[in-house]
Copies of this chain bind each other. A is one copy, B any other.
């Protein structure tokens, strides 16, 4: 089971190990002839350098961590796969850490993960980083990219990157659309109200749109779920109970919109005639839902690519930390 190592290659090729190492690492200072010879032997013996040894020596890995908090969002899974693909193309490996433990600070998880795995970079899909300190991030010593913008004024923005969308604006746009087509009594199924989480920001967009159209805020039109079908189904039932005169509902995720749809149909109302329905994310399913769901499209592809490219640039020192807001687009389909 013992595999061939650099010494074997060196011995077989009749050169020193240093030269072999140079060839492996594409150092320029080795004669072309020698290089070819060594390359041939490497090929022939199917030699693959031992990563543990390389990492040990270089005191770093080639691994980039992705932390996903909570499974609820199918977008995360997709982003992860796309990011993985790009990163692995240029030689990095991604290590996954998925957790749902709401009790523990996400920054602590991140630090532990980076340190234990000797990660070279960290990408966080979701999670709450509102309370992190500049020093904590700096201490981690590796580039960190968050996929959700945060409003943490005490955190130095030159110490991490972020790429995401403007949740407040995107939510505003779709609710604004709902208003302009005549809806006055618009419910919302969200995850929070005043905080800076994704759900909080979207709720704030909803409220601003209402305010813009001089629609008063009424508490009965507000309900909370946890990004699952089931929770939204239940939330919608409560909404229907509390505010039977609703003409439209904005759910802050497609999943929740679809969950809500079931509750709406169960009381015999139709979409969009009796109640219009809008989601958020534009997951694949949205367009194939019956009827096709009006929603906000997250630029998934760009989001993933940008994140991956930025990480690579950061690692190669070709870039400073950046904060990007990507454009969302309204997808007006048949539920409104």
Contacts and interface: CB of A to CB of B under 8 A. Distances in A.
Contacts of A211: none
Contacts of A3: 115
Interface residues of A, number: 48
A40 B255 CA distance: 47
A45 interface: no
A78 B84 contact: no
Given A78-B71, A290-B289, A93 B93 contact: no
Contact of A48 (B115, B141, B258): B115
Contact of A287 (B72, B95, B229, B287): B229
A218 interface: no
Interface in A317-335: none
A259 interface: yes
Contact of A98 (B52, B85, B115): B85
B88 A81 contact: no
A15 interface: no
A306 interface: no
A95 B50 CA distance: 16
A268 to B, nearest CB: 14
Interface in A230-275: 233, 255, 258-259, 261-262, 265
Contacts of A1: 141
Given A53-B56, A78-B71, A265 B288 contact: no
A94 interface: yes
Interface in A81-110: 81, 84-85, 88, 93-99
A183 interface: no
A38 to B, nearest CB: 19
A316 interface: no
A285 B286 CA distance: 10
26 contacts: A1-B141, A3-B115, A48-B115, A50-B56, A50-B118, A51-B118, A52-B53, A52-B61, A68-B81, A77-B78, A84-B97, A85-B98, A93-B95, A94-B96, A95-B95, A96-B96, A229-B284, A229-B288, A233-B288, A259-B288, A261-B288, A261-B290, A262-B288, A285-B285, A289-B289, A290-B290
Given A51-B52, A72-B81, A77-B78, 17 more contacts: A48-B116, A50-B56, A51-B117, A52-B52, A52-B61, A68-B81, A71-B81, A74-B74, A84-B98, A85-B99, A93-B95, A94-B95, A94-B96, A229-B284, A258-B285, A259-B288, A285-B285
